[in-house]
Amino acid sequence: MNERQRARRPGGRSARVGAEVHQAVTELISERGYGNFTVGEVAARAGVADSTIYRRWGSLETLLTDVALTRLNAQSPMPDTGSLAGDLRTYAANVAREITGPDGLMVVRLAVALSSNGQQGLQAGDDLRAERTRQLQVMLDRARERGEQAPDAFGVLDHILAPMYIRVLFGMVPLTPDYVDGLVDRLL
């Protein structure tokens, strides 16, 4: 096996380093908030050299975007229940659980903070929104293929996700199942 194959092996050193760096970022954001730590502090906590982070991510903003996107993808898989109403209810319940969980508010605050932090931050915010929109589009396209009438992705963002995010940002929790289902019902 050559070096290139070894680097791509799932669970290898590269994956382990990535997980350790992501964990360090999550802990630092939870402890100190966005903008209150450096690449050096992430590296020290993760047990890697600063150069490892710069080589792999290039900047702190790119690393933070990667952490947020990874969380987004891991925590909110696109359901396939066989109906748009079922998919939206399941998806909305998953998002509600995600954003009210232990790291949920951290990811929301990170996305907001990145969006207001210069050109790299704007790009990071755009990347996060594009990924969330891409995820939604998969579910909505599948519904259309089944012959269902589906809203556009921005309709889901505006009528389901935005109200939940606003409630979490302003401490208006819990997001009850009745509340989340009501958001889906109003959209449909």
pLDDT digits (tens, 9 = 90+) for 106-152: 777 777 777 766 777 677 777 777 888 888 999 999 999 999 999 99
Cα separation values, 75 from 60, 120, 123, 171, Å: 22, 25, 22, 21
Would you say the pTM of this structure is higher than 0.85?
no
CATH code for the part of the protein at 67-187? 1.10.357.10
Q: What percent of the chain has pLDDT over 90?
A: 48
What is the pLDDT at residue 6?
Answer: 44
Domain boundaries, the chain: 3-58, 67-187
Q: Which fold has domain 3-58?
A: Arc Repressor Mutant, subunit A (1.10.10)
What mean pLDDT comes out for the span 32-41? 86
